[in-house]
Structure 1
């Protein structure tokens, strides 16, 4: 049996659906099946009377032929089957109020089969012993039973089909084997006709029931909708006549307009919702659209209209259908309305937030990108250049760190106001994020326009700001690129303007730099290098070199600093100065730094147990929330003791977010690792960092040693102050860049306890480090911070 309809919503019911033998019954089908079988209880008495009359006729026909004993047995079986089927049918009398179960369905079918088998007994057991005319008379009685079943039970086709199939089949067989083929054919045609008629009648019943159910459901839906409108304060019904005058005013419609129903009845809908009209002002376009729709007598849906209620503007959403009479004459409109003012304001706010910066009110990155895209398309069509200016505030981070974020936010808002004052219809300024701002110039064909605007911006933003009780001074640098000359896409133009800004800041800040062919060549080279750098780890092009740091008192190696080298296929070995800044800008420093950390720990785990390894960490790494996980992974995979890992941090790492950097370093120290402050003395706030974290030591900037060796008194004073402060804070001091005996004498004479530089060893490859271990002798047991390797 094939799968059939699973829902009574089908337009043409299959035979299996009609007789109830669908493979997948749903709750909806069970309910409909209950409507069919509830009819059995209503005709139960009539069926009993019909079968009693048929039984009486059968007894009168065959008692003289087969005797009282066989007739009595058959009659008893018939009474038993009728008792079972009648009880089953009466139990189904309430299925029109509930879903019918499959067990009830099959129980009724079983009763029908039993009753049909009982009626087959006279055909099989009585008729062969009787005369031919008795056989015909018995067939007449059975045909009458099958006909009555088809007429009385059109809603239960399976019962009729089972009864007719069994009893009719027995009769056909009796005629065929009794030498009466003509009657066998006639009987067959009769049984088939009964079956076809039964299925057709049952299908009509089901279809009519389905139609009635759908009509009832539709009426219920309409009733619920009307009740919902009656209970929902957000919607109301309205009605107009052919002249667009309001009729049958509902209570909520009057409340929405703030008027009494009698004030509304008979008034023009347009006049009511438009409010007092100033003849010198044009009507709102939404009201004009509503008027045109109603003039054209066409239905409309979800029409947004600006209305005036109590002198205040509101937004309504109107939906209406045309009313006509039986002859199609226009009678007016019937509609529903709802106040969507709050939803519209929320949508407008979300749209504004998606396009504008909340702090400054300037267009954000998304809107700037769209504006630049439009400008590039217009420039290509009009064959003139557009321009993009990117600017960065100088010294803003210092203001943010010293004065706090609230003052910094007020400063950004003041910067936005000054930028807006410089804009005209040809220029759009925006904020990209942080202290980065930009300007989109739609038409940059006027000679010198970009340069003049850039100079005006720098001059305006560099003037002092009065924020509360503070007088703040910052500056600005500007980089510009022209489209489509410097890039055919938005991304290229923005990237090139950013690179021009980078060059402007490198050139001394407070200046404008325009992107040109020279920068184009450099940019292309940087992009190529960036692509190559991304593949460097996978291609195995990165390696580590190591430079020793020794104890100035006994020349023992205390630590080896890991230094990154890049062995490119095209340019050979590159020093970090060639590519680390690019790695920082492109965020490649994160995967590269993770590799350096893991590789340094792996190699150091094979060195003497007291020898430490130092790894330089960038500020961007320390702002990565997963950095601590990378440290834990590197230590656990290599099995290196945390005390043997030294992380060196430069002062520049604190410029972005000093608080987050300190918090990350505190977590590193909690693991047991050592943190030192590298390049001490290279920044203006060097001494402040020493009091904010438990550093194990500091490394002096190589410029201090060179200055002291040259007799610079400031350098000497700085070194002495650093050594004295380090002694009080129980920190070590390392002199970097010690390359000569003079440098060494100065460093040791000023109190530096550790030395690093070519005087004791230049950066070495791993193979040279391993040879160093092999040719050194084992010295007496070193201190806790010393290795057993001597130079």
Structure 2
């Protein structure tokens, strides 16, 4: 019954303020009605007495909480005594007015008290004692006052309404208790029915189990016995904990889940879907148990009833799913989630014990070329072999995993210093860079590494990962095969890159680009043409080097519209030059992968009116490494228009004679590094230049030496057989007007020979 009493109290507690306000408002209203009839001190004293009574009632109820009515001995007596005091205080004016013969004041006061009684009765519906302690006394005194002033009819009505209201409230209180009892019994019956129904669900996979107050099995169901592998009679009277513990019962070393179950049984607490390991026949099964405490009709605890099911297979599947959630399916290495969790733990330990940890990010060099040329299956097998090599670095304090794609990560839980990271990083580069044999292919990939030290370079997983990524970005910029540590200046570089990207997106619309032209001359000094070079003068950033903004444009795929603008502008300007003067435009792999590139070339030729053979498109070997078939198909279409193709920076990348055969280039450009090497007498550079020249001659191609800066270099390169030259010695990149001026003045030659 204590629970029902608590529910009664909870039902009216929320209306305590309404109860007290009804009393207070009634007292204040009576005071205001007599403000002009009685002395001010008398009115004020009355209102103060009412307020004091309200405060006292509030204090006693809040300080005693549930004990203020039922919970503590004498609570009901205190409530009745306090109610009588409240009634006497409230009705004191009625007795005074009746004694003095003031009928109007008496009836006015009664009207106010009648309204107060109605509100108070509503606020105490569920607990009749609250109404009975105050309002009968108010009614009786009010009836007496009305009788004294000669209103017996009103007195009789007051008594009738008072006790009718009291009866109604008592009935409502009883109905409330009866309703709650019915609801509780219905809940218990529903729970029992649900437990019984679950026994027959899932094709008999669940069973009913029951224990007494001493936690011993009673009425074992056949399905329960079958799950245990025993006869139902053998289970009768056996401790449920002893059954579940198996061989652990004698040692007392129970799994934590069994301790949890025992505690819930001791607390007579309902539980659902509790996973418990069960030792049966020297193997562990997993059961899912649900149960509720049972009571007899007198409320005495008699045990537990519940259902159980064997979820061993489901748990095994869940374990496999959990493994897949933290390990990479292709390589078997820990995945990004696992590495992040490990790194978070390492950072916590480092902060707690004033140690240092580290995170290394690894990106494979030249992996995309393997994927694009040999296909994804070969690429996946290559990643698996890389992962197998990465596993050899794993220890208790070093966790290697795969972040995704061709990116890997290594968490070092504790380091003595950055030398530890540097040594491990160099070992990773050396091991990963060894050749791989896959399906008769010998493959070479390298590794670029960047690392950050925690908590020095970041106190959170996000910060440390971001900073290691910035260091990795620097390693990639340096050509790969190196390891770099995070430095605060990398944030400045990243910020600068973001600013460039933001401004670059609107630079074309703001007309901030311009094209400069650098002359390309024949060995006899005749101007063969110009290479179109993009320049950017940002209104916010000022002049920005192409070395900085071209990679950003390629990464953000802005190079497409920018490159098309350069192509249109260069062809338009070339239309002003002599008809045998060429213009060369650099084309990126991103442009060649665009479906509309060939159309943009046709548009540039048509709008400018220049002959197709005057336009040269310069591409580098990276175009073929990224996407062979697509690049070649695009270049074939362009060449079919009559446009010439130039292979730039030949010999500096992954040079292959196959590129020359596939591309059918008209010109090969010799990189400046070979020009300088030949001038210094380096045998390798001289041999390479001669070989390129001989190869070009045999394929009926021309050669252009880049970066010729003085007469000595020009003489040396001409002597080696290069037919065309380009460099500062013949002219720096110049504006369109300056380029046109070379022809406008009649000069068609630039001095070459010494």
- With normalisation by structure 1, the TM-score equals 0.56
Alignment correspondent of 2:4? none
Equivalent residue, structure 1, for 2:387: 413
Show the counterpart of 1:320: 291
Residue 291 of structure 2 contacts residue 307 of structure 2 at CA under 8 Å; is this kept in 1? yes
- In structure 2, relative to structure 1, the CA distance for the partners of 1:324 and 1:415 (3 Å cut) is same
Answering whether residue 494 of structure 2 is matched by residue 520 of structure 1, we say no
2:734 aligned with 1:734: no
2:632 aligned with 1:666 = yes
Question: 1:289 is paired with a residue of what secondary structure?
Answer: helix
> 1:249: how far off?
4.7
Within the candidate set 407, 426, 431, 1:458 is matched to: 426
SS in structure 1 at match of 2:389: helix
1:423-572 aligned at under 5 Å gives the runs 423-424=396-397, 428-433=399-404, 436-442=407-413, 446=416, 449-456=417-424, 458-459=426-427, 462=430, 479-487=450-458, 489-500=460-471, 514-515=485-486, 519-521=487-489, 523-539=491-507, 540=510, 541-549=512-520, 555=526, 557=528, 560-568=530-538, 572=542
Alpha carbons of 1:323 and 1:637: their partners in 2 closer, same or farther (altered >3 Å)? Answer: farther
Cα distance change, pair 467–637 in 1 and its aligned pair in 2 (3 A): closer
Deviates more, 1:380-389 or 1:286-295: 380-389
1:722 is aligned to 2:692: yes
Residues 355-370 of structure 1: pairs in structure 2 closer than 5 A: 355-370=326-341
Cα distance in 1 between the residues matched to 2:429 and 2:684:
35
Q: CA RMSD in A?
A: 5.0
Matched residue SS, 1:763: coil
Q: How far does the alpha carbon of each residue in 1:349-390 deviate from its partner, in whole angstroms, 9 at most, with x for none? A: 343333333455444334434444454455556665544444
Distance 1:219 1:275, change over 3 A: closer
Local SS of the residue matching 1:482 = strand
SS in 2 for 1:283: coil
Quick check: 1:393–1:435 contact (8 Å CA) kept in 2?
yes
* Structure 1 position 575 matched with structure 2 position 541: no
534-543 or 235-244, which deviates more:
534-543
Residue 628 (structure 1) aligned to one of 581, 594, 615? 594
Residue aligned with 2:653, SS: coil
Among residues 650, 655, 668, which one is paired with 2:620 in the alignment?
A: 650
The yes-or-no answer on 1:687 pairing with 2:653 is: no
Runs of at least 5 residues in structure 2 that lack an aligned partner in the other structure: 1-187, 749-754
8 A Cα contact 1:419 1:457, kept in partner? no
Structure 1 residues 557-599: Cα deviation after superposition (integer angstroms, max 9, x where no partner): 45x433232325577434323x15xx64x67643342243121
The SS at the match of 1:648 is strand
Deviation at 1:264, TM superposition (A): 4.8
Q: Who is 2:140 aligned against? A: none
Tell me, in whole angstroms, the C-alpha distance in 2 between the residues paired with 1:725 and 1:366.
Answer: 53
Alignment CA distance shift 1:690-1:720 (3 Å): same
2:203 aligned counterpart, secondary structure: coil
Q: Distance in 1 between matches of 2:295 and 2:349?
A: 52
CA contact (8 A) 1:393 1:475 kept: yes
Q: Match of 1:628, SS? A: coil
Cα distance per residue 1:663-689 (max 9 Å; x no partner): 331242254366543100223644354
Instruction: Indicate conservation of the 8 Å contact 2:289/2:306, yes or no.
Output: yes
| Cα pair distance change 1:220/1:374, threshold 3 Å | closer
Q: In structure 2, what is the Cα distance between the partners aligned to 1:689 and 1:234? A: 70
Query: Against the structure 1 CA distance between its residues 258 and 472, is the aligned structure 2 distance closer, same or farther, given a 3 Å change threshold?
Result: farther
Instruction: Return the match for 1:593 from 559, 583, 589.
Output: 559
CA deviation after TM superposition for structure 1 residue 238, in Å: 0.9
SS at match of 1:545: strand
Q: 1:466 to 1:306 in 2, by over 3 A?
A: farther
CA drift of 1:429 comes to 4.2
Match 2:324 to one of 329, 347, 353: 353
String of CA shifts for 1:519-538, please: whole Å, max 9, x gaps: 43464255235424431342
Asked whether the 8 Å contact 1:462–1:473 carries over to 2, the reply is: no
Question: TM-score normalized by structure 2?
Answer: 0.58
* CA shift in 2, pair 1:239/1:634, >3 Å: same
Relative distance call for 1:767 and 1:358 in structure 2 (3 A) is farther
